[in-house]
Amino acid sequence: MLVNMRDLLSDAQKGNYAVGSFSVANMEMVLGVIKAAEELNAPIILQIAEVRLKQSPLEIIGPLMVAAAKNAKVPVAVHFDHGKTVEKITQALETGFTSVMFDGSHLPLDENIEFTKKIIEIARKYDASVEAEIGCVGGSEDGSEDIAINCTKPEDAVKFENETGVDALAIAIGNAHGNYKSTPKLRFDILSEVEQKTHTPLVLHGGTGISPNDFVRCSKTGIKKINIATATFDRVEQSVRSAYESGSINGYYDLQGAEVEGAYQSAKKHILIFATDNKA
Ligand code: 13P
């Protein structure tokens, strides 16, 4: 069933776990992720980032994601990741997304606050939740930019929470999008301080490459949403490649099946690490 992200994250706060938020690019990935969530009886978030719309147009993938969520046997929130423009954020809300992110992490804090407040005002008309980001997560969602990591200042998180009342706050603690060039060393000291000084559910971007132990530690230290993108895209590609290598693809529908299988395996692995199975 399609649910508001606010409700999923509030349950995660009560239960002290983090919900997996899975980036998808096509129907096969949507089917694979939902299959894993249903099999494991797990709540999930389906998301797509604004930079990905050139490959997967919002007017096509958006309704597909919302329909898949409505049909699912488990709670699914549909989230617009790294929203950059009011136009596309509004289009996602019109399509039925139950959550949107405004990424103003590149702006000075006060401008980020002002813009986020405007997005919250728009999203409230749709009863949708809003995620924002402060500090800079490294890399970029589609690998096109190598943005330097700039860790969140705990006092900025307090100010941001007080002035915006945002529903979820992405923070930067040494995490980065894409495959890490070296083992990530997350700043748990910063995460703990933010957790102690704020009440907002926190979001960890750049989930690919973070160790299972660190995921669990994050989820016990205020992180209530974990974004996974590259791991799923890579797993889908690998699944198709090995199906060809093993000679198990005889025609298009075997290829389609291999894509669904890759997304399913990635979502299943992360749901089990996050221990959100049977939390639906
Ligand atoms: P990864 O591609 O590193 O998993 O990051 C996902 C993400 O944070 C999407 O916003």
Per-residue pLDDT for 210 more than 90? yes
pLDDT at 262: 98
Instruction: Look up residue 227 and give its two tokens.
Output: 């974004």
Asked if residue 145 has pLDDT above 80, the reply is no
Three-state DSSP at 54 gives helix
Q: pLDDT of 53-80, one tens digit each?
A: 999 999 999 999 999 999 999 999 999 9
pLDDT digits (tens, 9 = 90+) for 96-128: 999 999 999 999 999 999 999 999 999 999 999
Contact between 124 and 160 (Cβ < 8 Å): no
Residue 180 has pLDDT above 80, yes or no: yes
Distance (angstroms) between ligand 1 centre and the Cα of 48 equals: 10
Total residues found in the chain within this entry: 280
Residue 259 has pLDDT above 80, yes or no: yes
Q: What is the pLDDT of residues 216-230, one digit of tens each?
A: 999 999 999 999 999
pLDDT tens digits, 8-54: 999 999 999 999 999 999 999 999 999 999 999 999 999 999 999 99
Q: What local confidence, expressed as pLDDT, does residue 172 receive?
A: 96
**What pLDDT, on a 0 to 100 scale, did the predictor assign at position 217?**
98
Angle at 12 between CA 164 and CA 72, to 5 degrees: 105
> Which pLDDT score is estimated for 140?
80
Residue nearest to atom 5 of ligand 1 (CA): 206
Query: Would you place residue 181 in the very low, low, confident or very high pLDDT band (cuts 50, 70, 90)?
Result: confident
* Ligand 1 contact via 141 beta carbon (within 6 Å): yes
The answer to whether the CB of 230 is under 6 A from ligand 1 is yes
pLDDT at 143: 81
What sign for the dihedral angle of Cα 107, 162, 166, 207?
positive
Q: Does any ligand 1 atom lie closer than 6 A to the CB of residue 96?
A: no
* Per-residue pLDDT at 130 exceeds 80: yes
Distance 52 CA to ligand 1 centre (A): 12
Query: What's the gap in Å between 114 CA and the centre of ligand 1?
Result: 25
pLDDT higher than threshold 90 for residue 203: yes
- What pLDDT does residue 63 have? 98
CB under 8 Å to 267, separation ≥6 — which residues? 20, 22, 32, 33, 35, 36, 37, 44, 228, 232
Active site residues: 81
CA of 178, closest atom in ligand 1: 3
| Cβ of 208 below 6 Å from ligand 1 | yes
Q: What is the dihedral of CA 119, 125, 129, 132, to 10 degrees?
A: 0
**147, pLDDT greater than 80:** no
Rounded Cα distance between 105 and 25, Å, is 24
Is the CB of 50 inside a 6 Å radius of any atom of ligand 1? no
229 alpha carbon to ligand 1 midpoint, in Å? Answer: 5
Which mutation among 48, 149, 180, 227 tests ligand 1's pocket best, with the greatest number of atoms within 8 A of CB? 227
Q: Whole-number mean pLDDT of the chain?
A: 97
Query: With 80 as the cut, is the pLDDT of residue 213 above it?
Result: yes
Q: In whole angstroms, give the CA distance from residue 8 to residue 174.
A: 25
- Ligand 1: centre distance to CA 36 (Å): 19
Contact 207 CB / ligand 1 (< 6 Å): yes
CA pseudo-torsion sign 151, 97, 239, 211: positive
Higher pLDDT, 182 or 256: 256
Query: What confidence tier does 146 reach under pLDDT thresholds 50, 70, 90?
Result: confident
Mutate to test the pocket of ligand 1, among 131, 140, 173, 228 (most ligand atoms within 8 A of CB): 228
User: What pLDDT sits at residue 138?
Assistant: 82
Q: How confident is the model at residue 169 (pLDDT cuts 50, 70, 90)?
A: very high
Calculate mean pLDDT across residues 191-206. 98
d(CA 70, CA 78): 10
pLDDT confidence of residue 161: 98
Q: Whose CA is nearest to atom 1 of ligand 1?
A: 206
Distance, CA 82 to ligand 1 centroid (Å)?
10
Instruction: Name the pLDDT band for 271 (thresholds 50, 70, 90).
Output: very high
Whether the predicted pLDDT of 168 surpasses 90: yes
- Rounded alpha-carbon distances, angstroms, from residue 141 to 16, 42, 55, 120, 178: 27, 25, 13, 23, 7
pTM above 0.85, yes or no: yes
